[in-house]
Amino acid sequence: MPDNSNLPDVSAWTPELLRQRRRRAAVMAIGILILVGLFFAVTIVRLAENVAQSAGQS
Amino acid sequence: MSQVVKGEILIPAEPVMDTGSAADFISLMKPRVMSLVIFTAGIGLFMAPNAIHPMIAIAALSMIALGAGASAALNMWYDADIDGVMMRTKTRAVPSKRISAESALAFGLWMSGISIVCLGVMVNYLSALLLAFTIFFYAVIYTMWLKRSTPQNIVIGGAAGALPPVIGWAAASNSVSLEPIIFFAIIFFWTPPHFWALALIKQDEYRKVGVPMLPITHGDRNTLWQILIYSFVLALVSFAPVFFGFSGTIYLVTVSVLNLAFIGFAFWLFTAGDARRNYAAGWLFGFSIFYLFALFACLPIDRILGAV
């Protein structure tokens, strides 16, 4: 039998607390998505700059 | 923290149950202060000689804003004890226990790390270094050391708030020259009259928590003198962009009017009696915010219209 004595006391997690947790997670996910989007866009811009520079040199 | 295995998932045995909402975490970053940081950093970025791609500019401003928010979160973590006593700050997320101090600290540290690394990788290392220094200066030098130990706290600590236009300039040009140093000086000399006006109004609260603001350690009369002197110094420094030739007539005329009004408010506060002092200080405090926005807005307007 697994020892469940260390499991979190889920009875303390009221529906309101769980809802707030979900909202925090959603905001965090949006933040991470924005960061990923920024990295992607900046990478494309940098690549384009490098390509233009190389084309200008050749 | 110990962990237990349930199926394939690791679950913390002692979960931290913050009751704070996402809005509470965002409030840790002091969004109103952040807006001023984004604005001044944006002006620094715009005024730099190098034109950078709008996407890089957006990335730079986002990371500078995140860094400013991170330092604000660290400030709220450290100051939770005094924030809980002062009327102005006692409803903040940490003193009102909606967010635990540990979570505020972790949030501040994570956001600091993310903003510095991302600014370095996406923009350049000089701006990232300046951002790291700004966060360190605000969180450690100002919040942990100066704030509770000297009446010059906001004078020296004001350097942290004055750095965003320098970071913006460095993000665009990968260098620091005379122009961003002048922007730095304008905000640096603007900070004391701005905060001492607030300190005059809130001095009973600062006294209660033992923060040695100037009106408490040196009295109202001395503070009023200092506000007046700094207002004159600020007026002189604000003309430096014209003196050094990177701003023109539009800036000169607007800033002259702004300075007249600023010194007027400072003089009104200086001459106001005890009964009207807080009222006059409130006006100076409010006007000083408008002053800084208007002065920095003038720089690009002058650049654009001056070039037509």
The pLDDT tens digits of the residues spanning B170-186 come to 999 999 999 999 999 99
Lowest mean pLDDT among A6-10, B9-13, B298-302: B9-13
- Of the pLDDT bands very low, low, confident and very high (cuts 50, 70, 90), residue B279 is very high
B101-122 and A15-57 helices cross at what angle (nearest 10)? 10
When mean pLDDT is compared across A15-19, B99-103, B218-222, the lowest value belongs to A15-19
Cβ–Cβ < 8 Å for B176, B162: no
**What average pLDDT score do residues B287-308 get?**
91
Is residue B2 predicted with pLDDT exceeding 90?
Answer: no
pLDDT bracket for residue A52 (50, 70, 90): confident
Using CA atoms, how far apart are residues B282 and B198, in angstroms rounded to an integer? 7
Is some CB atom of chain B closer than 8 A to the CB atom of A14?
Answer: no
pLDDT digits (tens, 9 = 90+) for B128-140: 999 999 999 999 9
User: Averaged over B59-77, what is the pLDDT?
Assistant: 96
Among A27, A35, A45, the residue with its CB nearest the CB of B55 is: A45
Asked if the C-beta of A24 comes within 8 angstroms of chain B's C-beta atoms, the answer is yes
Quote the pLDDT of residue A17.
Answer: 82
Question: pLDDT digits over B217-236, tens only?
Answer: 999 999 999 999 999 999 99
Q: What is the mean pLDDT of residues A37-43?
A: 94
User: What single letter denotes the amino acid at residue B250?
Assistant: I
For residues B23 and B266, the model is more confident at B266
The CA distance from A22 to A42, in Å, is 30
Question: In the predicted model, is pLDDT for residue B19 greater than 80?
Answer: no
B122 touches chain A (CB under 8 A): yes
B283 contact partners, CB below 8 Å, separation of at least 6: B265, B268, B269
Which among B6, B26, B59 is the nearest to A38, CB-wise? B59
- A38/B114 CB distance under 8 A: no
In this prediction, residue A1 carries a pLDDT of 59
User: Which residues in chain B have their CB less than 8 angstroms from residue A27's CB?
Assistant: 22, 25-26
Evaluate whether the domain defined by B20-176 bears CATH number 1.10.357.10. Answer: no
Task: Inspect the interface and report whether the beta carbons of B22 and A23 lie closer than 8 Å.
Answer: yes
For chain A, give every domain's residue range.
15-57
Is the confidence at residue B21, as pLDDT, over 60? yes
* Backbone torsion region of residue B33, taken as left when φ is above 0, otherwise alpha when ψ lies between -120 and 50, otherwise beta: alpha
Report, as an integer, the average pLDDT of B119-133: 97
B46 touches B302 (CB < 8 A): no
Instruction: Collapse the DSSP code of A19 into the 3-class scheme (helix H, G, I; strand E, B; otherwise coil) and give the result.
Output: helix
Among A17, A30, A42, the residue to mutate for chain B (most B Cβ within 10 A): A42
Which H, E and C letters describe chain B, residue by residue?
CCEEEECCEEEECCCCCCCCCHHHHHHCCCHHHHHHHHHHHHHHHHHCCCCCCHHHHHHHHHHHHHHHHHHHHHHHHHCHHHHCCCCCCCCCCCCCCCCCHHHHHHHHHHHHHHHHHHHHHHCCHHHHHHHHHHHHHHHHHHHHHHCCCCCCHHHHHHHHHHCHHHHHHHHHHCCCCHHHHHHHHHHHHHHHHHHHHHHHHCHHHHHHHCCCCHHHHHHHHHHHHHHHHHHHHHHHHHCHHHHCCCCCHHHHHHHHHHHHHHHHHHHHHHHCCHHHHHHHHHHHHHHHHHHHHHHHHHHHHHHHHHHC
Total H helices, total E strands in chain A: 1, 0
Residue partners of B260: CB distance under 8 A and separation at least 6: none
Q: What is the mean pLDDT of residues A33-44?
A: 94
pTM: 0.88
This model of the complex carries an ipTM of 0.76
Mean pLDDT across chain B: 92
The contacts of residue B188 (CB under 8 Å, 6+ apart) are B158, B159, B162
| pLDDT recorded at residue B307 | 65
**pLDDT at residue A9 is higher than 70:** no
Specify the pLDDT at position B51: 84
Using CB atoms, pick whichever of A8, A12, A39 lies closest to residue B11: A8
**Contact assessment for residue B160 and residue B137, using Cβ atoms and an 8 Å cutoff:** yes
pLDDT given for residue B11 in this prediction: 44
